[in-house]
């Protein structure tokens, strides 16, 4: 990792942790809703957990907006967090990311098949 401003790194790291918290919140929401729906289905009242799902979903939407802003994502691994930290640091410094050597495209040189005097 390159040398960087510690304050910038800490802020970027904080943002990545907030994103990770949101994804964990989303997974919990999905798991609990599936479990509650199945339980309610067996009891003969499939719409019983609807209010809980609705209000929790509204809270989840606000959590999304707090973390990501208006709409316009990764796996929660260490590599994902490191990538997100780099992205956040680049956003905060306004620098463009450097293209890694293995990501560069091999493009053929284009040959000019015309003379400039032929152009209108």
Tell me the pLDDT tens digit for each residue of 63-90: 998 887 766 445 556 677 788 888 888 8
Residue 84 in contact with residue 74, Cβ under 8 Å?
Answer: yes
Predicted local distance difference test score (pLDDT) of residue 77: 60
Residue 1 pLDDT more than 60? no
């Amino acid at each position: 990792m390159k040398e960087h401003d510690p304050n910038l790194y800490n802020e970027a790291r904080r943002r990545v942790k907030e994103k990770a918290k949101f994804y964990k919140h989303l997974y919990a929401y999905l798991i609990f809703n599936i479990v509650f729906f199945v339980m309610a289905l067996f009891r003969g009242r499939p719409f019983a957990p609807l209010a809980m799902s609705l209000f929790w979903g509204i809270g989840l939407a606000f959590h999304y907006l707090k973390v990501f802003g208006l709409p316009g994502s990764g796996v929660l691994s260490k590599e994902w967090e490191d990538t997100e930290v780099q992205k956040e640091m680049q956003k905060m410094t306004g620098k463009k990311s450097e293209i890694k050597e293995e990501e560069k495209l091999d493009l053929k040189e284009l040959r000019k098949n015309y003379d400039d005097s032929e152009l209108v």
